[in-house]
A and B are shown apart, each in its own frame.
Chain A
Amino acid sequence: MKYYTKITMRFLLLQLIVFVIMFAYLFFVNFVPVVSCSYSFLDLKEIGSVIFLPSFCVSFLNSSLISLFLYGFLIVDHEHSCLFSVKIIPFFISLLFFILFFCLWHPNIENSSVHYKGNDARFFVDSGAFFQYYGEPKNRFSQDDFERILSNVGKKDKELLLKSYHQDRVNGDFLLNKEMFSVDRFLLRKCLSLNNETENIKMFFGRVEKYYVYDVVISLPDKVLSFEKLAVAFNSYKEMDLLVPFGEEIKTFPFEKKQNALFSNSRYAFATALIYKNNEMILPFFNMYPLVSIGLWMVITLMILTFSGWIYIKEYPLISVLFNFLLLIAFYLCVPPVLEWYHTIVRNFASESFVKLRYIIFFFVASGSLFVINIVRWLSYKKNKKI
C-alpha cells in the first residue's frame, strides 16, 4: 500500500511539473505580445477567454498524456511494471481529471486552432518592420500553368499544391479547394509568392492597435502607397482583412495569424509538425459529444500506459528510455491521422448502422484488445513469479 501511495504522489507531482512548464511557456508566448502592444488591453475577462483558456486546455491535456507516458518507465520500477493495479491508478486519476475538466468547465473550443483566439490585429501582424506580404492564391490555374509551377517547386510544395487544388473535370483547369487548414493556406500563399505567382507586395506598419494600423506603407509592383491610419476587419476564415482604399473602391488584403508564420519556418519543419500535432492530438476530444470524448480519452490513456510499460527492460535502461522517447514521438505523429483514417473509412465503406455506432465499436474493440494485452502480460508475470 505504501508503494501505491508513493507512486500516486509521484505521478501527481510529475503531472504538475509538466503542466506548469507547458502552461508557462504557452501563456508567456501568447500573453507577452498582447500586453506589450498596449497597456489598455489589460481586460481580465478577455485575456481569460483569449489566452488563458486555450493555453490551459492544450497544456492540461498534453501534460496528462506526457506524464502518463513518463509514468510507465520513470516512476514505476521494473518489478511492479507488469502489475495491472499499478496502471489502473494513473488511469483513473487522469480520467477523473478529464471528467472534472469537462463537467465543471466545458470549453467550447472550435476546431481551427487552439491557440490565439479573438479578433485583434496584434495577433496577426507585427509593427515596425517591412515584411513580405504573401498575396492571395489564384482561384483557378490552367492545366499548363499548374504543371509549369509543379515542375519548378520542390517535393513538399508539390504535395501541398496538389493537396490544395483539385482538377475541374470539364475543362481540366485546377481550382482552389474551399476548405483548407489555415496553416496550409499560409504555406500555399508563401509557396506561390516565392515562385512569383502572386504579386510582390511589401508592407510596413508603424503601430498596430486592436482594430487599426497606423503609419502604413504598402509597396505594390507599380506604385507605393502611404497612409496614416487604416482599419481592419475579420472574416469568416478567421483571417484579418486590411482595408485599403484605392480611389473610391476598397481593396482587402487578408492576413494569417502570426503563429502560422512560425510554423512555416522550414528549418524546424519536423519540430513544428510535432508541435502542431500537439494541437491536433487535443482536437478530437473537443469535436464530439462529451461521452464519446471520455471514451476516446480512456482508450488513448490505456494505450499509452500499456505501451510505455512494455518497453521497459531493467538491464537496458538506456535503450528503454530511447525507445520510449521515439514511441512518444511516433504516438503524437500517428494517432491523429489514424483516427482520421478510421473516420473516413467508416464513413465511406461501412453500413449506416455501423456509422451510427462507430464510436462505440471503436471504443470496445480498442479497449478490449488493450485489456486483453494487459491481462495476458499480468498472467505471464504471475506464472513466472511462481516458477
Chain B
Amino acid sequence: MADKKDDTLAIDTYKAFFKILFFGLVLSFLAALFAYVKNKIHVDFFNTYLTYKTIYNFSAHFTIFVYFFLFCFYSLFFKKKYLLDYKGHRRSFYQITSCGFNLIILSLFFYFFVLEVVLPFSKEQCADIVTKCRLSEELLDKAEKLYEEGNNKSSSLYRQIANKKEALRIYENYGRLVSANRYVNERIGDLRTDLYRIEYLARKKSDIPEELTTYEELADYFYSKEDYFSAWFYYLSVEKGPQAQKQLARKRIEDIKQKIKYQNSLYTDEELNLYMDKQTRKIQDLYTRLQKGEQLLNKGDYLSAYYVYNDIYNENTNIRDALNGSTKSLDYLQKNAVDIEEVEIARSYAGKENFMMFCNDNVVMKIGVLRKAINVDLLVEQYFFFDTQLCYRDTAQNITKIVYIPYAKVRKDNLLLLCYDKNDRENIYSPVIEKISKSEMTSLLKKVSENVKADLFSYYELKDGFYELRSKDKSTIRELSKLTRKNKLLDNDGVEIISVEKMTKKLQNLSNEAKNEVLAFYEQKGNNYVLFSKDLNVLSELSKVAKKYNLWDNELRENLLSFPYDMSVLYRLAYDYESAEDFSLFKLLDLRRFYDGFGEFDTGLSHSFIGAAIACKLSKIFIFFYICCILLCMFFKLRVTEYNSWYLIILPFVLIALYVVVMLINLFVTTFFNVLGSVFSLRSVFIAAIGIHFVLSFLIVCYTMSTEVDDE
C-alpha cells in the first residue's frame, strides 16, 4: 500500500509526459494536414508526405513540447498531495522533481538523435517528394507533346519513330516516379506495340549454344547449321591459331568453298571467281579487324575497340569474339565513362545551377548544372555535371586556361569526363580547352605537329591576349574533343606513360619507400614506365599517392578528374548558413575534414558557417538542458495554488510565449557562433563553446540545487 502511494508522483509525471508528447504529435499532424497543398503534391504521395511532414513538425518543435510538459505538470496541474510523501512528511525539491529530471535527460538523448537523424532525413524526404511531383508534371506534359508529334502523319516516318521512342521513355520515367495511372499505362502499351511492330524486322537474334567454347566446336556447329560464312571464319581462326587440327581446318575450308560454289552454281565461272575472291577478302578483313580490336583492347583504348567490335557484330551476329570484345569494352566504358543515354535521362531530373568551388588552390570549378538522378536498376543516386568549367589561375590570380567539360559523372571519388554514345561513334564528348592565354598556347603548340596547329587555330580566335573558342555548339565541341583526345592536348604527361629519365628526375627528392610506392603502379617497357592498369581503382589510388608526394600539380587526365567529395553532402549544401543548420553534426564534421587535404583555400564552400553550424548544433543540446532546468525551477516556484478550469484558456498563450523564447534564444546563439565561427578556427570555436557551456552548466546546476520548496 505504502509503495503505491509513493509511486503516484512518478507515474503521474510519466503519464503527463507521454500525454503531452501525444498532444504534440496530434498538433504536428494537424499542422501538416493544413499545410498540405492539393495541387502541389501528387495523390500517390499523400500518405508519405503527411507522415514525413508530421515527423518533421514534431521533431522541429520537440523542445517546445518538452517545455510545455514542464509547464503543465509543474505549474498548472500540480497537485498539493505531491508535496507530501506517503508518511506525510514534506518532500524536498529534488524528490519531487527527480522524475522530471529523468525525463529531461532522456529527452536530451532523444533530442540529439532527432537533430542528427530524424530532422535532416524527414526534411530531405519532404523536399524530395515536392521535387518528384513537380518533375512528374513536367514529364507528363513533355510526353504528351511528343506523343502527339509522334502520331502526326505529316512528318517523316523516322521523325515519328524517334518521337514515339522518346515519348515511351518519358512515360516510363513518369511511371517510375509516380505509380502510373490507367491512362499512362495505356499509352505505354500502345507505344510499345507500335515500336515493336516497326522494329521487329530489324531485330536480329544470335542463338549460339552456351556450351560451345573452342573455335573448332563453333566451326563444326556452324558447318552443321550450313552457315558457311561463319564456319569459314572460325576454321580460319583455327588454322591461324596454335591448335593441332590445322589439317582438318584447311580441308574444311576447301569443302566450304566447294559448297559455296555449288550453292551459287548459276553463276558463270568468272562471276564465281569474283564472288569467291570477295568472300575470301571479306573473311580476311574480318579476321584482321578482330585482330585490331584485340590490339586496341590490350592497349587500353576501349572506346575505339568497342566500335570496331560493334561493327563486326552488327555485320555478322555469329562471331562470338566480336560479341565478347564489345561486351568487355562496353563493360569497361560503363565503369569509366558516361553513357549519353544516362545523361539524357539525368536531364529530366531537377538540379542546382551555377555551383562554384575550389578544386585546389589555383583551380576553380564552375558547374553549370548539377543534377541528382536515380539509377532505377541499381537504385543508387548518381550525380551528373553539365557544362562544367575548370579555371586554372596563376600565382597572380589571373586566369590562364579554362577547360570546358560538357558532361561528367561522379563515380568512386572520381569525375568521369568522357561521354560516349553506344550507337554513334561521332557522338563523343570529352574535355576541351575553352580559353587559353597566349603563352600557354605557345607551350601547348610545341607538343603538336603543323597540321594539328592549323586545325587548332581554326577553332579559336584571339581576344585580349586570350585564345577563345569561336562557338560552343555541340558539333564544334565534338570535333574539338576528338582532336584533343587524339593529340592528348589536355593530358598530363607522366600519368600513364613516362620516360625513365623523367621519372627519376621527379622521384629524386623522395625517400626509397616513397619511390617504391610510386613505382609499384608502373611496369618498365623499354625506355618508358607504363601504368600497369587503367582501372579506375588503380587510378584513384595513384592520384592519392601523387597528391601525397606532390608529383603532379594538374589533376586532369584524358577522361578522369579526382573528386574526393561526399556528393550527398555537397549537393545539398548551399552558400549560406540556413541550409547548413539542417545537416547532421556527423556530416558537417565530415565536410570539414575534406578541407584539410587542400592548401590555403578550402573548397570555397563557406567554411566559416560550417564551424558556426557545428558549434550551434552542439550548443542547442546544452541549451535545451539549461532551459529545461531553469523552466522547471521557475514553473515550480510560480505554480498555481488553486487550479481553476478557466486556466486552460492560457494554454495557447503559453505555447506562443515558449515559441518566441525558443526562437529568440536560437537567434542569439546563431549570431554568437556565426560571429565566432567567421573569426576563429573551428578548434577555437569548439573550445569557446565547451568553455562557455561548462561555466553555464555549473551555474545552472547551482541554481537548480538552491531551489527549495516554499511554504504555502
Does any Cβ of B come within 8 Å of A217's Cβ?
A: yes
**Given contact pairs A126-B678, A130-B605, A326-B657, A224 touches B402 in the complex (Cβ within 8 A):** yes
Q: Which of A27-35, A170-178, A302-310, A336-344 contacts B (4 or more CB under 8 A)?
A: A27-35
Q: How far is the CB of B185 from chain A (nearest CB, A)?
A: 33
Q: Chain A 30-57 against B: per-residue CB contact (8 Å), 1 yes, 0 no?
A: 0011001000000000000000000000
Q: Does B14 contact A (CB under 8 A)?
A: no
> B682 at interface (Cβ–Cβ under 8 A)?
no
B608 near A129 (CB under 8 angstroms)? Answer: yes
Interchain CB contact under 8 A, A32 and B657: no
Q: In the assembled complex, which residues on chain B have CB atoms less than 8 Å from the CB atom of A32?
A: 675-676, 679
CB of B399 within 8 A of chain A? yes
User: Which of B209-217, B517-525, B665-673 lies at the interface?
Assistant: B665-673
- List residues of chain A with CB within 8 A of the CB of B660: 270-271, 274, 329
Question: A226–B666 Cα gap in the complex (Å)?
Answer: 38
Residue in chain B with minimal CB distance to A259? B671
Measured CB to CB, the closest approach of chain A to B329, in angstroms, equals: 36
Residues of A within 8 A of B672 (CB): 25, 28-29
State A267–B669 Cα separation when bound (angstroms). 13
Is B609 positioned at the interface, with any CB of A under 8 Å from its CB? yes
What's the nearest-Cβ distance from chain B to residue A114, in Å? 16
What's the tally of chain A residues with a CB closer than 8 Å to chain B?
49
Q: A126-B608, A262-B671, A271-B667 are in contact. Are A219 and B366 (CB under 8 A)?
A: yes
Contact among A25, A226, A329 with B397 in the assembled complex (CB-CB below 8 Å): A226
Whole-angstrom CA separation of A221 from B356 in the bound complex: 12
Q: Is the Cβ of B667 less than 8 Å from the Cβ of A224?
A: no
Chain B residue nearest in CB terms to A25: B668
Closest to A275 in B: B667
Chain B residue at smallest Cβ distance from A221:
B354
Contact of A227 with B605 at beta-carbon distance under 8 Å, contacts A29-B675, A36-B679, A318-B75 already known: no
Interface centre among B366, B581, B654, B675 (most CB of A within 10 A): B675
B391 CB–A CB distance under 8 Å: yes
Interchain CB contact under 8 A, B575 and A266: no
**Bound: A261/B609 CA distance, A:** 13
Who on chain A is nearest to B666 by CB?
Answer: A268
Least Cβ distance of B106 to chain A in Å?
26
Once A32-B675, A130-B356, A316-B640 are accepted as A-B contacts, the answer to whether A228 and B578 lie under 8 Å apart by CB is no
B577 cross-chain contacts in A, Cβ below 8 A: 265
Contact A202 B575 (CB under 8 A): yes
- What are the residues of chain A within 8 A of B605 when measuring CB–CB? 129-130
B604 interface residue (CB < 8 Å to A): yes
Q: A131-B606, A268-B663 are in contact. Are A226 and B393 (CB under 8 A)?
A: yes
Nearest CB in chain A: distance from B566 CB, A: 18
Residues from chain B with a CB closer than 8 A to the CB of A270 are: 660, 663
Which of B389, B575, B602 is the one whose CB lies under 8 Å from A132?
B575
* Beta-carbon contact of A262 and B674 below 8 Å: yes
Kindly state whether residue A112 has any CB partner on chain B within 8 Å: no
* A204-B356, A219-B356 known; A129-B606 Cβ under 8 A: yes
B262 at the A interface (CB under 8 A)? no
Count the B residues whose beta carbon is within 8 Å of the partner chain — how many? 58
Contact B635 A318, beta carbon cutoff 8 Å: yes
Cα(A268)–Cα(B664), bound, Å: 8
Taking the closest CB of chain A, its distance from the CB of B444, in whole angstroms, is: 20
B216-233, CB < 8 A from A: none
- Of A128, A221, A322, the residue contacting B650 (CB under 8 A) is A322
Q: Is the CB of A318 within 8 A of B640?
A: yes
Least distance between A308 CB and chain B CB atoms (Å)? 16
Contact B354 A200 (CB under 8 A): yes
At the interface, yes or no: B487 with Cβ under 8 Å from chain A? Answer: no
Q: How far is the CA of A32 from the CA of B654 in the complex (A)?
A: 36
Q: Does A206 contact B (CB under 8 A)?
A: yes
**B residues 619-663 in Cβ contact with A at 8 Å:** 635, 638-642, 647, 650, 653-654, 656-657, 660, 663
Q: Which of chain B's residues has its CB closest to A329's CB?
A: B660
Contact B667 A128, beta carbon cutoff 8 Å: no
- Tell me which residues across on chain A come within 8 A of B635, comparing CB atoms: 318
Give A289 Cβ to nearest chain B Cβ, in Å.
34
A288 within 8 A of B: no
Cβ of A315 under 8 Å from chain B: yes
B391, B578, B657: the one contacting A325 at CB < 8 Å is B657
Q: Please tell me if the beta carbons of A272 and B75 are within 8 angstroms of each other in the complex.
A: no
B581 touches A267 (CB 8 A): yes
Residue interface mask A112-131, B partner, CB < 8 A = 1: 00000000000000101111
Q: Given the complex of chains A and B, what is the CA–CA distance between A274 and B676 in angstroms?
A: 23
On whether the beta carbons of B353 and A318 are closer than 8 Å, the reply is no
Chain A residue contacts of B391, Cβ below 8 A: 217, 224, 226
Q: Is the CB of B640 within 8 A of A200?
A: no
A321 adjacent to chain B (CB < 8 Å):
yes
Contact B638 A318 (CB under 8 A): yes
- Give 15 pairs: A residue, B residue, CB < 8 Å, sorted on A: A28-B675, A129-B604, A130-B604, A217-B364, A217-B604, A224-B391, A226-B393, A228-B397, A266-B578, A267-B666, A268-B663, A268-B670, A275-B667, A319-B647, A322-B653
> 8 closest Cβ contacts across the A-B interface?
A129-B606, A36-B679, A271-B663, A318-B638, A271-B667, A268-B667, A228-B397, A130-B604
B interface residue numbers (CB < 8 A to A): 75-76, 353-354, 356-357, 364, 366, 389, 391, 393, 396-399, 402, 464, 574-578, 581, 601-602, 604-609, 635, 638-642, 647, 650, 653-654, 656-657, 660, 663-664, 666-668, 670-672, 674-676, 678-680
Query: Chain A interface (Cβ within 8 Å of chain B)?
Result: 25, 28-29, 32-33, 36, 126, 128-132, 200, 202, 204, 206, 215-217, 219, 221, 224-228, 247, 261-262, 265-268, 270-272, 274-275, 315-319, 321-323, 325-326, 329
